[in-house]
Amino acid sequence: MLVIEAKLYGNQPQDQKLDEMIRTASFVRNSCIRYWMDHKGVGQYDLSRLCKELASEFEWAKKLNSMARQASAERAWASIKRFYDNCKNPSLKKKGYPKFKKGRSVEYKTTGWQLSKDGTAINFRDGFKAGWFKMRGGFDLNFYQLNQIKRVRVIRRADGYYCQFCIDQERQEDIKPSGNAIGLDVGLSSFYTDSNGVKVNNPRHLRKSEKQLKRLQRKVSKKKKGSNSRKKAIKKLGRKHLKVSRQRKDWLVKLARCVVSSNDVVAYEKLTVKNMVKNHCLAKSINDASWRTFFDWLEYYGKVMGKVVYGVNPQYTSQECPHCKAIVKKTLSQRTHVCECGCVMDRDEAGAINILAKALRELSRGGQSQTSSLELVNANGHINLCQLSENLIDKLGG
């Protein structure tokens, strides 16, 4: 499934109608959550039936396209089902009870919208009659058939309104095997250190923009509540936060693509970031690094390019000696690994080597749920994991 995003351009009355559409979709979702709270044994079909009842009871709710109302009910049921699944998992302390949300988007299915012939404009044809919007950005929609567009989502952000098209299309890229395997040890001083000793600097997007964000936040605090000047200051602050998040995402996506395209096997440590951010001294820096987003994009590009991206348990990867496998206890302030066997190297590099070795051992034994084969097979040939293990042993001097 591909997601193509474009920015919408319309006049002020049209933007107000988009706000009404988003509020109506949020009302339908929250009504479904409330109905589930008040009644026992509510299922997905009960929520779908509720959408029809809401349309007959509220005239303004009937303006929203019927499939858009059904999509809002599906969102509500997705949160309910996730709560049920979490209740079955005893390891999760917080089950994620469904909550009411303000909502910033409305989702259409196959009706209620119309594309122009050249694919540069869209018309929303439900009861709100928002009209035609020009679109800029993203890929040309003319490359895809109209029946491939399964969902159309309108999202409100700090700098305007955007339209996302969910297209039923598999993305695949044929990349020649490089014969390389790499292990990644993420950190805060350097974003990651690989098993070859290469370090990538941490950009710290939030830290660099922190002064500007504080200044904009002070301006918001000084404005009178409910005034137009306060609303303008809030928009400026929101646009700055949006810019920082976009900078972070752009950097992570490009870095993940570069790592996966240059290596046939990428091993990383499966960190529980939500537990790590409980340390208030490091929480801001960990969130700014956004390791979990980086790992998600590694896995995504691994599927697209037909590469092996494997996560291992991080236990003892930073304490174990890559040469003699002895456990050398170190504090967070000790950045050099020194072992009695004579091995002296950077702590993060030693951890990256251990991560790669651990991943290769697990893959050679059949792996876990993340992979189904011992070899990566694509149109260009095979990757021999045994040969990669031999190369790692040669590097360690064994």
CA pair distance 106, 75, nearest whole angstrom = 11
Angle at 321 between CA 319 and CA 326, to 5 degrees: 85
CA pair distance 230, 232, nearest whole angstrom = 5
CA pseudo-torsion sign 137, 143, 145, 150: negative
- Considering only CA atoms, give the Rg of the chain: 25
Spot the catalytic one: 269, 288, 349, 362.
269
CB atoms within 10 A of CB 262: 13
CA pair distance 229, 221, nearest whole angstrom = 11
CA pair distance 287, 285, nearest whole angstrom = 5
Phi, psi for residue 310 in degrees, rounded to 5: -130, 135
Taking alpha carbons only, the member of 83, 81, 49 closest to residue 66 is 49
Q: Which residue's entry shows tokens 């290769």?
A: 360
Phi, psi for residue 199 in degrees, rounded to 5: -110, 140
Cβ within 8 Å of residue 287, ≥6 positions away: 206, 277
DSSP assignment of 324-350 equals T--B----TT--EEE-TTS-EEEHHHH
List the structure tokens of 145. Answer: 């058939």
Spot the catalytic one: 107, 126, 185, 362.
185
Note if 269 is an active site residue: yes
Spot the catalytic one: 264, 348, 349, 362.
348
CA pair distance 194, 130, nearest whole angstrom = 51
Phi, psi for residue 374 in degrees, rounded to 5: -90, -10
Q: Are 21 and 128 in contact (CB under 8 A)?
A: yes
Note if 174 is an active site residue: no
Note if 118 is an active site residue: no
CB atoms within 10 A of CB 80: 20
- Residues with catalytic annotation? 185, 269, 348
